[in-house]
Structure 1
Amino acid sequence: MYKVYGSVASRAFRVLWMLEELGETYEYHDTKPQSEAARALNPSGKVPILVDGDAVLTDSTAILTYLADKHGKLTYPAGSVERARQDALTHTLLDEFDAVLWTAARHSFVLPKERRVPEVSGSLKWEFARNLDRLAERFVGPFLQGEQMTIADIICVHCLNWAFGAKFPVENERLLAYTKAMRGREAFKRVRALSEG
C-alpha cells in the first residue's frame, strides 16, 4: 500500500488526488514540511513524499508521473506525440504557474522577513494573469488536452486553487468553468474532505 506524507494544504494534494482518481488505496500521514517525520524520509524536509514498498519518492510531479506510468492512467503513452505535448504542458504549468505562485509565497511568509521583497507581488500577479491568458488560448476542453484527463490537469487545477487562495487574478471564464468542473470530481472532493476530518 502506498504511503503519502504531506499536508492537504501542500503539493501533496496533487498526489492524493491522483491516487483517488486511480482508485488506489493509500495511507495518508498529515506531515508538515521540515518536520522531523518529513526529514526522516527526505533530507530536504520537503513534502510530498510517496513511499512505495522500499522506494521513497519526492517531488509531486515526479510522483504523479511515476503513478501514471505505473498504472497506465491519466497519461499518454511514453514515446507518443501526445505524451510529448503532455510533458510540455506539464513543464509550462510548473514554470509559468507553480513557480510564480511559489515565488509569491516565499516573499509573503516563507523566507525570513528580512529576505522578503513584498514589492514583487504586483509583478508576479501581472505575470500570472498573462500566463493564464496564454493557457486559455491553448485550452481544448473538457480537459487541457481534450477528451483525456492527465496529470497536467491535476497540476493546473491545484495551481488555480492556490491562486484563488493567494488572491491572484483568475478571471478567464473558460478556465473558471473548467476549474469548477474539476473541483466537482468525486476524487477531488474526497481529498478535500481529508482536511475537514
Structure 2
Amino acid sequence: MPVTVQIYDAPKSGHCHRVRLAASLFGVPHTLIPITSLEGERKGAAFLAINPLGQIPAIVDGDAVIRDSNAILIYLAEKYVPGSGWIPDDILARARVNEWLSVASGVMFRGPNMARLIKLFGKPADHAEAVAVSQVLFKMMDEHLKDRTWLVGDRPTIADIACYSYIAVANEGDLDIAPFSNIRAWLAAVEGLEGFVPMVRS
C-alpha cells in the first residue's frame, strides 16, 4: 500500500481546508484523520504527541511532523511540487507570497475567520469588530486584484491557497462579498483549478 501523508483535519476549519486543498492541487497522496472535538481528541495523549499545542491542522509525512497550516503549505509545495511555481523562484515574488501568508494568519484570522466563529460556533467576541477588519481586508484585496487574476504574479501560488478558504465562506460570518467583483473573480479562478476541492459549508 503506498505511503500517504496523514492530515489531521477538521472538515469545517478553513485552516485545515488550506491543507486539503494544497494536497489535492499538488497531487499529494494523503489520508484525512478527523479531529473534531476541542476538549476530546485534540487534548488526548495521542494527538498531543503530534502537536503538543492541541491545534490542527498537522501532518505526518514519514518521520516528519509539520504543524501550522502555512508551514504545511510551504512544506508540501517544496517537497512534492518543487520548481512548479507554487512558491516562486524570484526572491521578490517569494516575499510577496510571504506577505499574503501573514495576511492569512493575521488579518484573515481576526476578520472573516473570527466573524464566522462568532456566528456559527458562538465564540464570545465582537462581531462588529470582525466585520470592520473584514471590510478593510476586502477593500484592499479587491483593489489589489483589479488588474490581475492571482495574488502574486501570473499564476497561482500558495498565497492563493492560504487566503481562499475563509473568504469563500464569508457569508457564514454574515459578511457580504457581493460588492467586491474582483474578489469574486479570484475565487472563481481558484475554484477552476484542476484538483480543486471545496470548503465544507455549514
8 Å contact from structure 1 (residues 2, 26) kept in 2: yes
Which of the residues 119, 128, 138 maps onto 1:132? 138
Give the CA deviation at 1:167: 1.8
How far did 1:6 drift? 0.8
Aligned to 1:165: 172
Unaligned stretches of 5+ residues in structure 1 = none
User: Cα gap change, 1:166/1:107 in structure 2, threshold over 3 Å: closer, same or farther?
Assistant: closer
Please, which of 59, 63, 83 is the counterpart of residue 68 of structure 2? Answer: 59
> Contact (CA 8 Å) 1:170, 1:176: kept in 2 or not?
yes
* CA deviations over 1:109-143 (Å, ceiling 9, x no partner): 365xxxx24xx211221221122111111124221
- The answer as to whether partners of 2:115 and 2:174 remain within 8 angstroms in 1 is no
Counterpart-to-counterpart distance in 1, 2:137 and 2:24? 29
TM-score of the pair, normalised by structure 1: 0.82
Runs of 4+ in structure 1 deviating by more than 4 angstroms, as ranges, are: 105-108
> Per the alignment, in what secondary structure is the counterpart of residue 59 of structure 2?
strand
CA contact (8 A) 1:38 1:46 kept: no
Conservation of the 8 A alpha-carbon contact between 1:14 and 1:158: yes
Per-residue displacement from partner, 1:142-196 (whole Å, max 9, x unpaired)?
211232211110121112023222221213011112112322334223x65xx69
Letter paired with 2:141: L
Which residue identity lines up with residue 28 of structure 1 in the other structure?
Answer: L
Structure 2: how far apart are the matches of 1:39 and 1:181? 37
Per the alignment, residue 11 of structure 2 pairs with: 8
Query: What residue is the counterpart of 2:29 in the other structure?
Result: 25
Aligned positions of 1:1-197 closer than 5 A: 1-10=4-13, 11-34=15-38, 35=41, 36=44, 37-70=46-79, 71-72=81-82, 73=84, 74-77=86-89, 80-105=91-116, 107=118, 109=121, 111=123, 116-117=124-125, 120-139=126-145, 140-171=147-178, 172-189=180-197
CA distance in 2, matches of 1:153, 1:69: 16
Q: Which has the higher helix share?
A: 1
Local SS of the residue matching 1:38: helix
- TM-score, normalization: structure 2? 0.81
Deviations 1:39-73 (A, max 9, x none): 34212221111101111111101100111222324
Unmatched segments (≥5 aa) in structure 2: none
How many angstroms apart in 2 are the aligned matches of 1:110 and 1:66? 33
Q: Deviations over 1:66-122 (max 9, x none)?
A: 112223241113x711101111122123222223234435555365xxxx24xx211
The answer to whether the 8 A contact 2:112-2:167 is kept is: no
Secondary structure of 1:5's match? Answer: strand
Greater relative CO, 1 or 2 (CA 8 Å, sep 6+):
2
Amino acid at match of 2:12: A
Conserved? CA contact 2:5–2:62, under 8 Å: yes
